[in-house]
A and B are shown apart, each in its own frame.
Chain A
């Protein structure tokens, strides 16, 4: 069974940092691009970042470029999102999703809530 489990969310002050993790199981992790997608309270889905299977390519939304860094450790079946210089508008539930092609997320984690507030 394919599973993705996020962790690392919490309350952080503006300007602070947080590192999210996503642990995958049930499939060959290194074969897939993985996406981070976030959803602010009461809002729609917003793509954040993607990383290809061998970490060859990394993509970022303009809203997080230069502040967030995506990485993965295929030996640990794990995906990470290092978030620096956090702002109030980064407050959201962050999901990791397996990309089956063309940005299509076929399996999603349950999400982890990040709250940026003083």
Chain B
């Protein structure tokens, strides 16, 4: 049971837009910055979004992040087959004094 809650899977057609939600609480998302990661099969996670909505160098602007209260959202536009991956949200939890992750969302581009 993950501290942050994500939908297990989402799907959309190539070229379409998809959003992935991440629900937390006052001790984590509400009070701290949220990050999003992409994990392609057999590879290490890759940082997509940090500080709720900032993209590291090299991450295309098709990827966006937002936060409101105890929830955060990852948006991906112009879906490509190469975007098929697992996506995780993460943040610091003040009560646990540790990093917490969502359970992950598998994106299928049909």
Interface residues of chain A, those whose CB is within 8 Å of chain B, are: 35, 37, 44-47, 50, 59-62, 95, 97, 100-111
Contacts and interface: CB of A to CB of B under 8 A. Distances in A.
Contacts of A107: 47
A103 B45 contact: no
A22 B56 CA distance: 23
B45 A108 contact: yes
A51 to B, nearest CB: 12
| Dominant SS among interface residues on chain A | strand
B35 A44 contact: no
A45 B101 contact: yes
Contacts of B100: 47, 103
B91 A102 contact: yes
Nearest to A103: B99
A44 B103 contact: yes
